[in-house]
Amino acid sequence: MITKIAPLIAVIVTLLSLNINQVKPYLFPLTEPSVTPTPTVEPTTTPLPTIIPVTPTPKPTTIPAVQNTPAGAGYQRLAVQGDSGVFAVEVVVADLASTKVIVDTASLSDCKDNCPVLSLGDYVGRNGAFAGLNGSFFCPSTYPSCAGKANSFDTLLMNKDKAYFNSDNNIYSTVPAVIFSPGSVRFVSQSLEWGRDTGIDSMLANYPLYLIGGNSAFAGSGDEKITAKGARTFVGGGSGKVYLGVVLNASASDVPAVLKKMGIQDALGMDQGGSTALWANGRYIMGPGRGLPSAILFVKR
């Protein structure tokens, strides 16, 4: 019996010899822990501001007063009442008694291809002119269809040096023309009506003819460049005055009524589109555009 109990006693003695501080009792919680629920955060919605539409205040549009006739000589911008609306017109008016009208050319004589050209400003500068306009139609070097005849023109012209251009092929020409003489300007409906007089100051042929004797001379055209809206150049005459100008945003059919309202009796169109150039008051009013083989100029007589 003692033999069986002895091992048990040894175990008890061993346990008693241990440092009681080394034995950590297991403590059961007396109560269940209280779980505090995480509060739900309500999203805060910031109200958007109420957008009140603002109607923009339109900028005041200045409508130029209609002024049909130029107020004396010099450069002016007019608003002219035509048959189909009001048209802006850039115009230079000069008195024929004190003004010489000349035609200058970059070439000295007939030219068929790779012809020389100058800017309108160059023509003005080398002649001491106070106003100028691009001249007659020509074949620009930038057009593929003008290969072999770059910058050439084929209508009749006499320049300030009394040199006639394209004389032989315009004997029977029906292209209208304008002739500048001391104190006068004359318009003819066909170049064949004009000889080869060198007693004049200059002359050149072009189209379309807008006015003759105060009446419309424009009979229509199948050329879209003429019939479409655009800048329409013109040289005109009447009552001892001569005019160089451009009617803006107009078709050729709009022009006669506009020029007639301005007091112009006769008028002929010049080249337009990329060639359009008008000079006055020491600067370009329009242009310079492309280089030109010819130009019409106002110089003091």
Residue 55 has pLDDT above 70, yes or no: no
Residue 18 has pLDDT above 70, yes or no: no
Q: How high is the pLDDT of residue 10?
A: 53
| Helix, strand, coil distribution of the chain in percent, nearest 5 | 20, 30, 50
Q: How high is the pLDDT of residue 64?
A: 64
Q: How do residues 193-208 score in pLDDT, each as one tens digit?
A: 999 999 999 999 999 9
Question: What's the whole-model pTM score?
Answer: 0.79
Euclidean distance between CA atoms 237 and 266, whole angstroms: 5
pLDDT range class, residue 225, cuts 50, 70, 90:
confident
Q: How do residues 234-293 score in pLDDT, each as one tens digit?
A: 999 999 999 999 999 999 999 999 999 999 999 999 999 999 999 999 999 999 999 999
Q: Provide mean pLDDT across the span 14-42.
A: 45
Cis peptide before 37 (omega within 30 of 0): no
Computed from CA positions of residues 107, 110, 167, 225, in that sequence, does the dihedral angle turn out positive or negative?
negative
* Helices assigned H by DSSP within 98-170: 120-127
Residues 6+ apart with CB under 8 A from 178: 185, 186, 187, 188, 203, 204, 205, 206, 235, 237, 266, 268
pLDDT range class, residue 69, cuts 50, 70, 90:
confident
Q: Provide mean pLDDT across the span 17-36.
A: 44
pLDDT range class, residue 71, cuts 50, 70, 90:
confident
Average pLDDT in the chain: 86
